[in-house]
């Protein structure tokens, strides 16, 4: 008896483990086993349904040999109060109750000197009582160890907490930029390697024996798992529905997930039979104030920081100073998750948790107030960053805006659908123009701006501003006709309002339109007007942008010496302001001037300076333009193979952005095409041969090609005995260098979640539990190479 887990108390959980496979969690299991050696109390925490009990049971099965006097599971879910915690432990240990001593005393006497592991399952609703009992047991029974599962820690001395995360999931497509979507497109074939997908397939085969991931359903299955947050219970409930729904039908109905996922295992606990009852249980364990904050935090569609939580949620029954303590409690209860990057801490809710909170607003009048506060906060941030744009901190501001993109999109959407708020939507969308253009969000920006412009409730000022802002996006996409249409709107409104600022912006972007359509003399005239107006009104960022574009018109018009002088003036102004975004483009166009003048060494040096700035900005346009220039220089100096390699890298960046060099007009595109044609001839390639890659490079990868940089040590390629894909090997190389997942994500310009999935798959494929093991493995491959 002592060598077996007690099955009489919630033994169905153990029985269930015998008939379902255990998916993933190898890294978490290895870490938990290590912590069990180091600490006598280990608590597995995590959201409801994340698989804490299942992992605990697996951990117990792998550890039972270490406990000569047995392993016992005590399911606390049946208790309505904490008074019987000790009695229930005594019952599971089968200690005779033939005296008038308290149950805790009998348990202590029984466990004294015994080498036992107690699994205390589902402690969250009797947390205080459980903590008090465990504290005494650990003090009085020195060879006893406790493994607990709870939605929040017990909070006693000596406790080690292991957070059980959701299963790894594919990236959610709606949260990716066009560059990220392109970068991960080739990796979708490996969707089965994500733990959540593996579980869905495994459970689906229990009801549909021939269920499989196919090219037709692969994307739907990936998005099902992503939208279910990788929560095992939700995935198991979804698998049951696959008896009567196809993956695409199931995905379409996930907006009603609480009604859809309502048929579970009849032998499970009642709260684990439906998704609704699972979250109900978590909600009931919160205080009224915590429930209120949960409800209010659901207004954030993406991650958020403490200041945002305080400003948006701190009103009425919750004051702003209360938010920190309440947020901490929701983190402890696994309702809110934390994300750390250096000194920055952000918070997020799983989609299921957030949607549950959102349902609670149906009868709560505060929703409108929350929406307005949410919009006001993010509009204020966007405007503030715009006001401070021309100076140090630009790369940080762009990164912050990218991290807040889900919140910004929701704020604009609410403004657009709320009477009287359309101008705010237009103001936010137009102010985000640098974000749309530099961050590979061209499609998002154009869609948002054109939806707003179709509204009939805009003031003339905001309509005109949105019109010239969207013209920039259209021009970069190569839609010159649409850009001209929008510019005519801005010109008409500027004249009607006699608005000189709007007129200057119109001239600015009309000038770019003239460059892109080959009308260089007209462009030069318009830019001279725009530069003068921007300078007169103190719009230094716009002045610098117009100056670099004027140089572009000059040099392609054959006036490179004049252009080089103007570029030098722009560079001095940018450096004096601490401005670096425009500086990258100024260095690029300076290099183009040098190239036109035959100074190839200066051209290459300028291009490299422009690209070096992109380590901070990851601006796809400047990166692609810089690589193009390096290709022209290489071809001009007889380095034809290098020129072809660089042209190939540049083409990959253009594809990832969703545009091409042809968008930039006949002079720029023509220069590139002539360079490629000459390079093709010199290399003896067929006329149909084009510089193109099968896989689209990330910005970081393209930069590495251009700068000739390589990871530390010799790069290891795949072999027959190496199970990792090419991308996984690249991630493993960076892990070996000591980079965090967030740093790797920044290098590849991918989402953190995508890199988390890569690292998870690497560990699972290699059977490792730590990044150190991965590093040692990579080094061993190098030694063998």
> Does 361 or 243 have the greater pLDDT score?
243
SS3 call for 730: helix
Claim to verify: residue 225 and residue 196 sit in the same structural domain: yes
Q: Please report the pLDDT score of residue 13 as a whole number.
A: 32
pLDDT tens, residue by residue, 648-674? 999 988 887 878 899 999 999 999 999
CA distances from 723 to 221, 708, 720, 726, 753 (A): 23, 27, 8, 10, 21
pLDDT band at residue 189 using 50, 70 and 90 as cut-offs:
very low
What pairing do the DSSP bridges indicate for beta strands 344-348 and 145-150? unpaired
The total number of structural domains that make up the chain:
5
Claim to verify: residue 469 and residue 402 sit in the same structural domain: yes
The answer to whether position 246 is within a domain reads yes
Claim to verify: residue 357 and residue 369 sit in the same structural domain: no
The answer to whether position 263 is within a domain reads yes
> Does 54 or 745 have the greater pLDDT score?
54
pLDDT band at residue 776 using 50, 70 and 90 as cut-offs:
low
Q: In angstroms, how far is the first alpha carbon of the chain from the final one? A: 54
Helix 195-207 / helix 218-227 crossing angle, nearest 10 deg: 110
Is residue 416 predicted with pLDDT exceeding 60? yes
The answer to whether position 582 is within a domain reads no
Claim to verify: residue 339 and residue 395 sit in the same structural domain: no
pLDDT band at residue 289 using 50, 70 and 90 as cut-offs:
very high
The answer to whether position 178 is within a domain reads yes
**What is the torsion angle, in degrees rounded to the nearest 10, for the CA atoms of residue 476, residue 479, residue 485 and residue 490?**
-10
**Residue 723: partners with Cβ closer than 8 Å, 6 or more residues away:** 765, 766
Give the chain's length: 785
Section 187-198 average pLDDT: 72
Claim to verify: residue 148 and residue 197 sit in the same structural domain: no
Claim to verify: residue 43 and residue 116 sit in the same structural domain: yes
Query: What is the spatial order of strands in the sheet that 145-150 belongs to?
Result: 71-75, 117-121, 145-150, 41-45, 159-163
Site of tokens 């696959």: 242
Query: Which of these ranges, 172-181, 206-215, 249-258, 469-478, has the smallest mean pLDDT?
Result: 172-181
Q: Please report the pLDDT score of residue 714 as a whole number.
A: 38
Section 348-362 average pLDDT: 86
Give the mean pLDDT of the chain.
Answer: 86
Q: Please report the pLDDT score of residue 187 as a whole number.
A: 46
Q: The tokens of 393 are what? A: 């901190």
Q: Please report the pLDDT score of residue 339 as a whole number.
A: 86
Is residue 388 predicted with pLDDT exceeding 90? yes
> Does 367 or 254 have the greater pLDDT score?
367
> Does 217 or 545 have the greater pLDDT score?
545
- Give the CA diameter of the chain: 104
Q: What's the CATH number where 718 sits?
A: 1.10.10.10
> Does 760 or 607 have the greater pLDDT score?
607
The answer to whether position 444 is within a domain reads yes
Range of the domain at 738: 711-784
Task: Name the domain boundary from 337, 364, 391.
Answer: 364
- Number of alpha helices (DSSP H) and beta strands (DSSP E) in the chain: 39, 7
Is residue 723 predicted with pLDDT exceeding 80? no
Q: What's the CATH number where 428 sits?
A: 1.25.40
Claim to verify: residue 192 and residue 152 sit in the same structural domain: no
> Does 257 or 436 have the greater pLDDT score?
436
pLDDT tens, residue by residue, 299-333? 999 899 999 999 999 999 999 999 999 999 999 99
Alpha helices in 597-664 (DSSP H): 600-617, 620-636, 640-657
Section 335-350 average pLDDT: 87
Are the CB atoms for 167 and 199 separated by under 8 Å? yes
> Does 179 or 440 have the greater pLDDT score?
440
Section 209-216 average pLDDT: 88
For residue 118, give the nearest of 13, 204, 36, 233 by alpha carbon. 36
Claim to verify: residue 370 and residue 354 sit in the same structural domain: no
What pairing do the DSSP bridges indicate for beta strands 41-45 and 71-75? unpaired
Claim to verify: residue 24 and residue 151 sit in the same structural domain: yes
Task: Name the domain boundary from 163, 194, 228.
Answer: 163
The answer to whether position 114 is within a domain reads yes
pLDDT tens, residue by residue, 545-581? 999 999 999 999 999 999 999 999 999 999 999 999 9
Q: Give percent of the chain above pLDDT 70.
A: 87
**Per residue, what are the HEC states of 472-492?**
HHHHHHCCHHHHHHHHHHHHH
Residues pairing with 120 in the sheet: 74, 148
pLDDT tens, residue by residue, 663-708? 999 999 999 999 999 999 999 888 888 887 656 777 778 888 898 8
Site of tokens 């991965």: 774
Is residue 425 predicted with pLDDT exceeding 90? yes
Task: Name the domain boundary from 364, 388, 418.
Answer: 364
Section 722-751 average pLDDT: 75
Claim to verify: residue 450 and residue 430 sit in the same structural domain: yes
For residue 263, how many C-alpha atoms fall within 13 Å in the half-sphere facing its CB?
A: 8
pLDDT tens, residue by residue, 488-501? 999 999 999 999 99
For residue 49, give the nearest of 191, 189, 257, 204 by alpha carbon. 257
Query: Which of these ranges, 254-258, 371-375, 430-434, 626-630, has the smallest mean pLDDT?
Result: 254-258
Q: Please report the pLDDT score of residue 549 as a whole number.
A: 98
What pairing do the DSSP bridges indicate for beta strands 117-121 and 71-75? parallel
d(CA 271, CA 277): 5
pLDDT band at residue 20 using 50, 70 and 90 as cut-offs:
low
For residue 127, give the nearest of 285, 269, 324 by alpha carbon. 285
pLDDT band at residue 265 using 50, 70 and 90 as cut-offs:
low
Is residue 401 predicted with pLDDT exceeding 80? yes
Q: Please report the pLDDT score of residue 15 as a whole number.
A: 34
The answer to whether position 52 is within a domain reads yes
Is residue 188 predicted with pLDDT exceeding 50? no
Claim to verify: residue 185 and residue 252 sit in the same structural domain: yes
Claim to verify: residue 258 and residue 323 sit in the same structural domain: no
Section 407-436 average pLDDT: 96
pLDDT tens, residue by residue, 105-148? 999 999 988 999 999 999 999 999 999 999 999 999 999 999 99
Q: Please report the pLDDT score of residue 177 as a whole number.
A: 53
d(CA 759, CA 733): 11
Query: Which of these ranges, 243-247, 397-401, 547-551, 741-745, has the smallest mean pLDDT?
Result: 741-745
pLDDT tens, residue by residue, 509-536? 999 999 999 999 999 999 999 999 999 9
pLDDT band at residue 182 using 50, 70 and 90 as cut-offs:
very low
For residue 506, give the nearest of 484, 537, 474 by alpha carbon. 484
Alpha helices in 478-580 (DSSP H): 480-497, 500-516, 520-537, 540-556, 560-577
Share of the chain residues as helix, strand and coil, in percent rounded to the nearest 5: 65, 5, 30
The answer to whether position 271 is within a domain reads yes
Is residue 715 predicted with pLDDT exceeding 50? no
Are the CB atoms for 123 and 12 separated by under 8 Å? no
265 Rama class: left (phi>0) / alpha (psi -120 to 50) / beta:
beta
Residues pairing with 304 in the sheet: 347
């Amino acid at each position: 008896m002592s060598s077996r887990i007690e099955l009489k108390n919630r033994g169905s959980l153990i029985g269930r483990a015998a008939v379902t496979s255990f998916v993933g969690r190898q890294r978490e299991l290895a870490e938990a086993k290590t912590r069990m050696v180091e600490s006598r109390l280990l608590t597995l925490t995590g959201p409801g349904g994340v698989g804490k009990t299942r992992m605990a049971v697996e951990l117990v099965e792998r550890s039972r040999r270490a406990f000569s006097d047995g392993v016992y599971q005590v399911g606390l879910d049946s208790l309505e109060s904490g008074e019987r915690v000790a009695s229930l432990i005594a019952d599971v240990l089968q200690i005779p109750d033939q005296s008038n001593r308290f149950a805790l005393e009998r348990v202590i006497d029984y466990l004294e000197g015994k080498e036992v592991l107690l699994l205390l399952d589902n402690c969250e609703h009797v947390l205080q009582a459980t903590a008090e009992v465990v504290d005494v047991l650990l003090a009085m029974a020195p060879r006893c160890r406790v493994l607990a599962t709870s939605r929040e820690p017990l909070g006693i001395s000596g406790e080690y907490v292991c957070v059980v995360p959701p299963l790894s999931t594919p990236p959610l497509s709606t949260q990716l930029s066009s560059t990220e979507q392109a970068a991960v497109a080739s990796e979708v074939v490996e969707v089965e390697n994500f733990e959540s997908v593996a579980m869905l397939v495994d459970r689906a085969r229990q009801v549909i024996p021939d269920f499989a991931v196919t090219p037709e359903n692969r994307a739907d299955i990936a998005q099902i798992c992503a939208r279910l947050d990788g929560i095992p219970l939700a995935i198991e409930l979804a698998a049951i529905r696959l008896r009567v729904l196809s993956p695409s039908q199931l995905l379409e109905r996930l907006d009603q997930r609480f009604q859809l996922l309502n048929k579970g295992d009849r032998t499970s606990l009642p709260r684990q039979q439906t998704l609704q009852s699972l979250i109900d249980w978590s909600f009931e364990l919160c205080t009224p104030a915590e429930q209120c904050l949960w409800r209010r935090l659901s207004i954030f569609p993406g991650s958020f920081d403490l200041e945002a939580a305080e400003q948006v949620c701190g009103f009425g029954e919750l004051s702003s100073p209360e938010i920190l303590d309440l947020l901490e409690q929701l983190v402890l209860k696994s309702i809110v998750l934390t994300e750390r990057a250096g000194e920055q801490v952000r918070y997020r809710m799983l989609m299921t948790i957030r949607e549950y909170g959102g349902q609670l607003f149906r009868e709560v009048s505060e929703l409108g107030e929350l929406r307005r506060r949410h919009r006001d906060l993010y509009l204020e941030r966007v405007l503030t960053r715009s006001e401070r744009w021309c100076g140090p901190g630009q790369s940080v501001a762009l990164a912050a805006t990218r991290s807040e993109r889900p919140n910004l999109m929701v704020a604009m959407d609410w403004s657009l659908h709320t009477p009287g708020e359309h101008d705010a939507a237009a103001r936010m969308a137009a102010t985000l123009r640098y974000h749309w253009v530099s961050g590979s969000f061209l499609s998002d920006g154009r869609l948002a701006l054109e939806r707003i412009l179709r509204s009939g409730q805009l003031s003339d000022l905001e309509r005109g501003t949105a019109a010239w802002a969207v013209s920039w996006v259209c021009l970069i996409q190569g839609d010159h006709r649409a850009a001209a249409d929008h510019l005519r709107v801005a010109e008409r409104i500027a004249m009607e309002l006699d608005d000189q600022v709007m007129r200057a912006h119109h001239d600015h972007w009309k000038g770019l339109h003239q460059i892109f359509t080959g009308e260089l003399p007209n462009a030069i005239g318009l830019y001279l007007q725009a530069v003068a107006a921007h300078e007169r009104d103190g719009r230094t960022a716009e002045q610098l942008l117009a100056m670099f574009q004027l140089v572009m018109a000059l040099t392609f018009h054959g006036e490179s010496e004049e252009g080089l002088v103007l570029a030098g003036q722009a560079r001095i102004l940018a450096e004096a302001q601490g401005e670096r975004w425009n500086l990258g483009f100024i260095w690029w166009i300076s290099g183009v001037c040098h190239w036109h003048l035959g100074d190839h060494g200066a051209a290459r040096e300028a291009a490299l300076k422009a690209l070096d700035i992109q380590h901070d900005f990851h601006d796809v346009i400047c990166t692609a333009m810089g690589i193009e220039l390096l290709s022209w220089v290489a071809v001009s100096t007889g380095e034809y193979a290098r020129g072809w390699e660089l042209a190939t890298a540049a083409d990959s960046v253009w594809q990832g952005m969703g545009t091409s060099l042809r968008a930039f007009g006949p002079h720029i595109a023509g220069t590139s095409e002539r360079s490629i044609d000459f390079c093709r001839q010199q290399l003896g390639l067929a006329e149909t041969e084009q510089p193109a890659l099968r896989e689209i490079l990330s910005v970081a990868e393209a930069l590495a090609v251009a700068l000739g940089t390589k990871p530390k040590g010799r790069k290891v390629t795949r072999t027959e005995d190496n199970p990792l894909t090419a991308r996984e090997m690249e991630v493993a190389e960076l892990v070996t260098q000591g980079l965090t997942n967030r740093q790797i994500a920044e290098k590849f310009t991918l989402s953190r979640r995508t890199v988390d999935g890569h690292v998870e798959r690497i560990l699972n494929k290699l059977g490792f539990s730590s990044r150190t093991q991965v590093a040692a493995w990579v080094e061993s491959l190098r030694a063998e190479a």
